[in-house]
């Protein structure tokens, strides 16, 4: 009962012994949203809003943004959707933000940092998101990318609440944020771990560079340690913690993440059924054993083998 390959899934995210783990979709367009829904996603764990801005010579108006977001939210009427605010910077340049050239764009003014300089851009986006939530009937939460400190998280949550949006969260994708997970949870309603950037910044290894891809392996036990710290803080505060990086799409790693305390997993549509089926085939204690053994492994390959042995 431990296969991680293609298997049946009844569409309800939980382990064999009934521990709930939401299986959610990552989306960036209306067609993505329909694909995620059709694959059985219970909601959306990451809506990347950049698409709405990418080709825009000027900042899209609130009305334009509202219509664009509502088109993505509509397939998930009545379901939970986490909308991520604009994640741009010199590495994801937007013409109207006129980013200054930076020697290290991945370490520059990107993600939520853009909003500190231009809070009006954030406030207009939040107004549009609140409107799109009302138009679509989706149960919307909002989170910020690239948060590094609890103070930044508190600043963001205050603006989200001022916009009348019920739940505010942040992504944990900077190692400092993982280390400050407890203080960050005190400032927000939920967090979501972006393992793509968390690995990049933990290993100082460009996520787009093939030559350092082995360091960016989400099975690296030191990355799992950071995730475990966030899972521990989630348990202590009783608040939800998701994973929305590529790691969530690996059916075996999904078991380990569940064992580390993660309460939702968000992925591309193609991975949804396999991850749902993988979780349904094992118990929570098996997931916890897989997590314990993977954490203790010497390297990524050994962690994978240990997780497979623990749940196989
Ligand atoms: C991540 O960093 O893991 C993530 C989900 O965000 P993005 O891939 O959009 O940077
Ligand atoms: Mg990221």
> How far is the centre of ligand 2, averaged over its atoms, from the C-alpha of 174 (Å)?
9
Higher pLDDT, 6 or 75: 75
167 Ramachandran zone, left/alpha/beta (phi>0; psi -120 to 50): beta
Query: Would you say residue 208 has pLDDT above 70?
Result: yes
Query: Would you say residue 1 has pLDDT above 50?
Result: no
Residue count of the chain, please give it: 312
Summary mean pLDDT of the chain = 95
Confidence of residue 6 (pLDDT cuts 50, 70, 90): low
Q: Read off the pLDDT of residues 134-159 as tens digits, 9 standing for 90 and up.
A: 999 999 999 999 999 999 999 999 99
Encoded tokens for 174: 């900077």
* Percent of the chain at pLDDT exceeding 90: 89
Q: Read off the pLDDT of residues 95-140 as tens digits, 9 standing for 90 and up.
A: 888 778 889 999 999 999 999 999 999 999 999 999 999 999 999 9
User: Three-state secondary structure along 109-169?
Assistant: CCCHHHHHHCHHHHHHHHHHHHHHHHHHCCEEEEEECCCCCHHHHHHHHHHHHHCCCCEEE
Whether ligand 1 lies within 6 angstroms of the CB of 227 is answered as no
- Predicted confidence at residue 89, as pLDDT, reads 80
Give the number of whichever ligand sits closest to the CA of residue 268. 1
- Predicted confidence at residue 2, as pLDDT, reads 47
Q: Which atom of ligand 1 is nearest to the CA of 246?
A: 3
Residue nearest ligand 1's atom 1 by CA: 194
Whether ligand 1 lies within 6 angstroms of the CB of 2 is answered as no
- What ipTM was reported for this prediction? 0.99
Query: Would you say residue 192 has pLDDT above 70?
Result: yes
> How far is the centre of ligand 1, averaged over its atoms, from the C-alpha of 195 (Å)?
7
> How far is the centre of ligand 2, averaged over its atoms, from the C-alpha of 10 (Å)?
30
């Amino acid at each position: 009962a431990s296969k991680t390959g293609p298997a049946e899934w009844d569409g309800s995210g939980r382990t064999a012994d009934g521990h709930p783990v939401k299986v959610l979709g990552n989306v960036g367009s209306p067609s993505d949203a329909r694909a995620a829904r059709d694959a059985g996603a219970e909601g959306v764990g990451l809506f990347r809003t950049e698409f709405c801005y990418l080709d825009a010579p000027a900042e899209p108006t609130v009305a334009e943004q509202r219509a664009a977001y509502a088109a993505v939210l509509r397939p998930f009427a009545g379901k939970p959707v986490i909308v991520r605010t604009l994640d741009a910077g010199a590495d994801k340049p937007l013409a109207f933000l006129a980013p200054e050239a930076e020697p290290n764009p991945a370490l520059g003014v990107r993600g939520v940092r853009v909003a500190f300089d231009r809070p009006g851009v954030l406030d207009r986006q939040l107004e549009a998101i609140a409107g799109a939530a009302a138009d679509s009937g989706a149960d919307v939460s909002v989170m910020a990318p690239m948060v590094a400190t609890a103070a930044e998280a508190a600043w963001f949550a205050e603006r989200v609440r001022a916009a009348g949006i019920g739940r505010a969260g942040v992504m944990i994708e900077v190692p400092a944020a993982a280390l400050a997970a407890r203080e960050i949870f005190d400032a927000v309603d939920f967090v979501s771990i972006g393992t793509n950037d968390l690995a990049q910044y933990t290993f100082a290894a460009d996520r787009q560079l093939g030559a350092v891809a082995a360091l960016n392996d989400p099975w690296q036990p030191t990355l799992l340690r950071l995730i475990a710290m966030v899972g521990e803080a989630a348990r202590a505060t009783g608040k939800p913690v998701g994973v929305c990086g590529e790691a969530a799409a690996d059916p075996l790693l999904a078991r380990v993440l569940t064992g580390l305390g993660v309460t939702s997993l968000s992925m591309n549509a193609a991975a949804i059924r396999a991850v749902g089926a993988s979780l349904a085939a094992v118990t929570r204690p098996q997931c916890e054993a897989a997590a314990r053994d993977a954490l203790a492994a010497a390297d990524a390959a050994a962690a994978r083998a240990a997780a497979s042995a623990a749940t196989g």
